[in-house]
Every structure is written in C-alpha cells, then in structure tokens.
Amino acid sequence: MKLLQYIFIIALIALTSCSKNDNSDHNNDVDDDQEQKTFYAGMDLSFQSELENYNIDYKDAEGNSIELLDFVKSKGTNLVRLKLWHSPQNGENGLEDIKAYAQRVKSKNMNFLLNFHYSDYWADPGTQTPPSAWQNLSLTDLKVAVYNYTKNVIGQLKSQHTLPDIIQIGNEIDNGFLWDYGKVWNAFDGNWVNYTSLVSEAIRAVREMDTENEIKIMLHHSNVENSIYFFYNLQTFNLDFDIIGLSYYPQFQTKDLNLVASKLNNLANRFNKDILMVEVAYPFTLEWNDNLTNYIGSTNQTILEFAPTPQGQKAYMEWLITTIRNIPNDKGIGFCYWPQTGSLLTATKVQPPTVHLGRINAYSIST
C-alpha cells in the first residue's frame, strides 16, 4: 500500500543552494570566525531502488530522459535520506538495499542520512513494534541485540566506504521506541531509563565503528510544537547525540508560522543542538492525477499564506529555508523533503512508467 501511494512522488522539488566554494560538492556557508558548515538540502529516496524495478523513465520539463540522482544534484540536492527496516515485510529497505543505494549516493559525492526504524515495518509515534527477531527478549538481551545490529549495519557500510554522514536512531520517537520496552507514553511515562538505555546502546555501536568521528547522530521528533518536552526529559540522561531532527507537516500541526519559528528558536537556545527539519512537505496542487484521492486534498490542510500551487509551494519552501537559517547560533543546518501523496503527484502502478519532472514542479530554490 505504501508503494501504491509513493509510486510517482519521488521526483520532488529539486533544490539548489548558494555555495561559497565552487570546488565543493557540498552546499557550505563559511563565516570568517566559524568552521565551515554544510547546509543540507535533502530528499528522502528510500523507495527509489524499488521504483526502478518498474522501469520508470524520469523526464525533465523539456521531455528529456534523465538519471534522477544526477538531476537532483544538479539542482542543489546534497543529502539523500534512506530508511532501513530490520526484516522488511512489504518491499521496504533491508540492509542489502541500503548498501547498494548508498554506493550510488556516495559515488555522486552526496551526503547520506541513514534512518534506522528498529522495526520490521513503519515506526511512528503510534507504532513502534520491535522486529520479530527481537520479540520476547529480556531488556538486557534487547540492549545486546540493538548494539549488535547497529554495529553490524555500520560495519558493513564502513567496509564498502559508504558510512552515513548522519544516523537517525529511530523514527518519530516521540513516545519512545521498541515498545513496550522503551515506551515513554501514558502508563509508561516513567520508562525513560529503559528507553535511554536502549538508545545509548545504538549510539555506542555507532561511536565505536566511527573511528574517524565522521558521523553525526540525530534523534527525531515528529512535531515541532511539542518537541521541547521530549528533549527536556532527555537532558537528565546526557545522551551523546548531535542533531535534533524534526518533522513539520502543516496538515497535522500548527499553521501559525510565527509559532513554528518561535519553537525552533527555543529548541536551539535551550538545548544547544543542531536542528535538521528532516521531514517536510507541501502540495503544489489539489487536483488528482489518477483515480486515487490526494492525501492533501483540501485548503483546510494548507497554510493561508501559501496556496497549493507551484508558486505557493515554492514560496513555502523559501519561507522554511529562511526560518531555518534564522535559527539562533547557526543551529539550523537544513531540511529533507519527504514527499507524501498529494504533496507532489499521485499515481498507481498501472499508469505508464514515465515521470515528467516539469509536471511535478522540479524547480530550483536558492538556499
């Protein structure tokens, strides 16, 4: 079902940046008094390798066939996010899928963000099911399993010279992960010790394998508005992580742009961590392109200031980039576009396998 929703939304807004180093493959801002720092203009391509099994022909606005990674890189994309499941059930990425696509990403000199779900299926604030291989373990044994699994994944990526630049420990872990062992919600609010002990084992595995200190570790909360409570609770445990990852979907969260900016600034000032908007999306149309209902199909799901048009979508992204860049103390490090059905284009497997990037609004935005 996820693939049915995802099939033709991969070619998202291609983003370009203003690099001050013409010889660099990254999009960097350099201040005289600060270390060179990358601003990430990213996209989630977790299902791209599966989509290619359908011989999809990507085309630009002029109708010319293109290679997707080359095209989006030429428009400024410098980060690719890939989701990883333990024992995939429905075509999601397993380790071999990740290894193969990571080689392609790194061959383009692009940054790589690895998103561990620590589940066999989709993990989110309402579902954090441990992999079937880890069911009924004791907490002690589960910590060993988390450590060994994480270390094995990183070790295999390291051996083929495709270490991630960023590792995301869990997906949308607002309420913890690996339920009920690490659940921190409702009756399990006092379970922060178990949750952080599991996260610490994953982090320990990454740090041990990352002997050159090249990897940044991110923890991901799904809601800009409500994330302060989560990271406040983590402070007691002194977890060794580098980046606060956040999602912002206007159809689910506040549409008050000033509140979004305020929350981001508060996070930066309070926790002194880099902030990556690791899941963002916005529609360019409410019209259907097939016989499926759009995920975003009403103006009630959009922001008043940004119409669901190509121009409105571009304006939204420009607002978002400016907001991230204005986070205090240079803590806003970028974004990653995760296209939901309706935020770009819906289609089904029975449609002709051609994607026209001009049709789905592949324009450049200065970051």
Ranges of residues in the chain with a pLDDT under 50 are 1-34, 341-363
Three-state secondary structure call for residue 301: helix
The CATH number of 2-356 is 3.20.20.80
Q: Do you find a cis peptide bond into 180, omega within 30 degrees of 0? A: yes
| Helix segments in 28-138, DSSP class H | 48-51, 68-74, 95-107
The answer to whether 92 is a known catalytic residue is no
Three-state secondary structure call for residue 201: helix
pLDDT of residue 183: 96
Annotate 79-137 with DSSP letters as a single string.
EEEEEE-SS-SSS---HHHHHHHHHHHHHTT-EEEEEE--SSS--BTTB-PPPGGGTT-
pLDDT of residue 366: 55
pLDDT tens-digit readout, 172-219: 999 999 999 999 988 888 899 999 999 999 999 999 999 999 999 999
What count of other Cβ atoms lies within 10 Å of the Cβ of residue 349?
A: 10
Each domain of the chain, given as residue ranges in start order, spans 2-356
Provide the token pair at 52: 């290619």
pLDDT of residue 28: 44
Three-state secondary structure call for residue 116: strand
Three-state secondary structure call for residue 127: strand
The answer to whether 214 is a known catalytic residue is no
Which residue among 35, 52, 96, 172 is the active-site one?
A: 172
What's 240's DSSP letter?
A: -
Which residue among 52, 279, 305, 318 is the active-site one?
A: 279
